[in-house]
């Protein structure tokens, strides 16, 4: 894999959500727009032993990395001198926004603009994959999971956090959507300038609403269902080429919930 940044072809049907994701990351970075920080801290703690144990020249992929928040949190933890890090996201993220650039030795780091459902990465070439709140946005999910299983080497590990509706959807989503839509229409009627930020906010809220309509398989929105969903998630990963899947529901003090999935492929 080259040390330069690579651009892969992004399928047309992903264009809208990828532009929205980029804008969302850009404008709402400080507002938990990419999920609560506790999700990243948990991911870093779970993945750290595997990342630090790598003895040879091996590669770690941060899938659906966004601007690379994981590496800001991981900063204090060791990275083996010969390990390589690849961050990958389909959104257009400008170079200065790539947080990982400040936290990783540049010669060990590559960012790829690409689709998680069609990874430009060779079979069995990765030792560790981390993914915070992105795998369930790659559709269809079977494709996302089979790509993940394909690129991991035997004995490789993946650490994943999945969205639930209690994380994704603000309770006031419909109100906010109505408010931003009304404001845009009011401005358009008066032929006043509509700020890109307002347009992107409406688009991002629409994306979230679509996500709910599709109905996330990983959802745990109803109390009492979570054990069944936990088992379904485990079965899905185990039937897709992973030898072990440890699945649990975690939450932060503000009541946001997410699924944590720790995977191993072969080599047990
Ligand atoms: C909730 S954000 C999380 C970003 C980052 N992992 C973090 O925790 O800050 C989800 C990310 O998934 C990316 N994403 C969604 N679908 C994708 C796809 N098909 N391929 C690559 N990236 C995708 C989005 O662009 C977005 O940056």
Read off the pLDDT of each residue in 158-167 and give the average, rounded to a whole number: 86
Asked which of 60-64, 79-83, 188-192 is least confident by mean pLDDT, the reply is 79-83
Q: 152 C-alpha vs ligand 1 centroid, how far in Å?
A: 19
Q: 95 C-alpha vs ligand 1 centroid, how far in Å?
A: 16
User: Is the Cβ atom of 68 under 6 angstroms away from ligand 1?
Assistant: no
Beta-strand relationship, 152-163 and 257-264? antiparallel
C-alpha span between 57 and 36 (Å, rounded):
32
pLDDT in tens, 211-243: 665 555 455 444 556 777 888 889 889 999 899
Q: 18 C-alpha vs ligand 1 centroid, how far in Å?
A: 9
Q: What sign does the CA torsion over 50, 52, 58, 61 have?
A: positive
Query: Do residues 159 and 130 touch, judged by C-beta distance below 8 A?
Result: yes
Read off the pLDDT of each residue in 97-107 and give the average, rounded to a whole number: 83
Tokens 């933890």, residue?
A: 77
Query: Do residues 162 and 259 touch, judged by C-beta distance below 8 A?
Result: yes
Chain centroid to Cα 175, Å, comes to 26
Residue 239: what pLDDT? 92
User: Is the Cβ atom of 147 under 6 angstroms away from ligand 1?
Assistant: no
CA distances from 190 to 180, 183, 185, 196, 199 (A): 16, 11, 9, 17, 16
Q: 65 C-alpha vs ligand 1 centroid, how far in Å?
A: 6
Beta-strand relationship, 84-89 and 109-113? parallel
* Closest ligand 1 atom to 131 CA: 6
Query: Do residues 205 and 175 touch, judged by C-beta distance below 8 A?
Result: no
What is the band of 20 on the pLDDT scale with cuts at 50, 70, 90? low
Residue 216: what pLDDT? 52
Read off the pLDDT of each residue in 4-12 and give the average, rounded to a whole number: 55
Residue 13: what pLDDT? 61
Residue 176 has which token pair? 């906010």
What is the band of 149 on the pLDDT scale with cuts at 50, 70, 90? very high
pLDDT in tens, 43-70: 999 999 999 998 778 999 999 998 888 9
Instruction: Tell which residue, 227, 216, 203, has the closest CA to residue 21.
Output: 203
Average pLDDT value for the chain:
82
């Amino acid at each position: 894999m080259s040390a330069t940044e690579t651009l892969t072809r992004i399928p047309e049907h992903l264009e809208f959500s990828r532009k929205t994701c980029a804008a969302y990351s850009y404008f709402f970075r400080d507002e938990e727009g990419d999920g609560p920080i506790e999700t990243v801290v948990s991911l870093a703690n779970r993945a750290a032993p595997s990342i630090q144990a790598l003895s040879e020249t091996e590669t770690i992929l941060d899938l659906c990395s966004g601007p690379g928040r994981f590496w800001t949190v991981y900063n204090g933890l060791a990275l083996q001198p010969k390990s390589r890090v690849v961050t990958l996201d389909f959104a257009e993220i400008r170079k200065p926004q790539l947080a990982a650039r400040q936290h990783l030795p540049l010669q060990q780091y590559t960012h790829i603009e690409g689709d998680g459902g069609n990874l430009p990465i060779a079979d069995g070439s990765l030792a560790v994959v981390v993914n915070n709140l992105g795998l369930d946005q790659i559709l269809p999910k079977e494709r996302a999971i089979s790509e993940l299983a394909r690129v991991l080497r035997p004995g490789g590990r993946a650490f994943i956090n999945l969205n639930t509706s209690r994380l994704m959807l603000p309770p006031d989503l419909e109100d906010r959507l109505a408010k931003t839509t009304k404001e845009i229409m009011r401005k358009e009627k008066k032929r006043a300038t509509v700020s890109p930020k307002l347009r992107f906010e409406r688009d991002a809220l629409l994306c979230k609403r679509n996500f709910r309509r599709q109905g996330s398989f990983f959802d745990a929105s109803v109390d009492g269902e979570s054990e069944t969903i936990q088992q379904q998630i485990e079965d899905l990963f185990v039937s897709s080429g992973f030898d072990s899947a440890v699945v649990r529901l975690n939450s932060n003090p503000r009541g946001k919930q997410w699924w944590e999935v720790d995977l191993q492929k072969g080599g047990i």
